[in-house]
Amino acid sequence: MRKFKLAIVGATGAVGLEMIKMLESRNFPVESIKLLASERSVGKKLTYNSKEVTVELLAKDSGKGVDITLFSAGSDVSKEFAPFFAADGCFVIDNSSAWRMEKDIPLVTPEVNPHDLKKDKKLIANPNCSTIQMVVALKPLHDFAKIKRIIVSTYQSVSGAGQKGINELTKQVKAWAKGKSIPAANKFQYQIAFNLIPQIDVFTENGYTKEEMKMTNETKKIIGDNSIEVSATCVRVPVFRSHSENVWIETEKPISPQQAKDLLSKAKGIQLMDEPESKKYPMPLFAENMQTTYVGRIRSDISTKNNALTFWIVSDNLLKGAALNAVQIAETLVKQNLV
């Protein structure tokens, strides 16, 4: 089997570290790996497949001779450096929001739209974490019954805000447990410990946040249907890892809860966890460090006679919501002989 030369930009960050783990655990055919970061991380030692790798400084020519690069260093870094990597013939899989809504750049969730990957499209966008887990569950339902409308409320963990979000919740909980004053919020708008914050990212003119509009716009692009109406409310919750979502859909064709369960039980990347009589349903506790998107609480909407279902989705936002999906895109490039 052919092996490939890889690079990871932002290798020392929360998602970058998970990318390394995913490449290892999924036995990606790696010939060599280059770990890249900013000046403050240069010289750090990380381990890949039991071998020590020194973190190097990201530069515009770092992509020369590299087959695939996974970027997870934020939009500004991606905008500055990713085009140089792509120009050098390297496939770039970018985890930031920099390129997601660019018309000619594929926005890919492999279970949904692998056909959007092309040999001549070197720059590929990894979708938003909350969008990924939702569209994986929506795809089989949309293919069967055609989704007309989606209303989703998310319950997003602090790791979605990176290591600083994790650190802030940790410090606040530790202070509370010791009977001390809870430290003032820094990363988040308000104290996150024992609280919910109904704001992720900044508000736009229509009253929705950027995070909510990402879910609206990205869902349409990934599924490939601009007629789908989407309304999202995104909430930060005091959970370290894994995002949860309550999703309501209206479909053109009738679809029963049992039909939905049958479809989802056969869908790639999905594990059905729907036995309410036994108290079996998805929770962040189960999803952490798992490469699966869990779906449960599937039921018909009793408030309308329209074709409507509601269900609950949980997935590890650092894995399927970021690192795993990026690695799966790389795997798909290999499988389709594009790289």
Alpha-carbon Rg for the chain, nearest whole angstrom, is 20
Scored b (16 or more CB within 10 A) or e, 162-200 reads: beebbebbeebbeeeeeeeebeeeebbeebbbeeebebb
Q: Which of 90, 129, 142, 234 is catalytic?
A: 129
Neighbours of 290 (CB within 10 A): 16
Strands 243-251 and 308-315: antiparallel
Q: List all residues 6 or more positions away from 51 whose beta carbon is below 8 Å from its beta carbon.
A: none
Task: State the catalytic residue, choosing from 90, 142, 234, 243.
Answer: 243
Identify whether 243 is a catalytic site residue.
yes
Q: Is 142 a known active-site residue? A: no
**Residues with catalytic annotation?**
129, 243
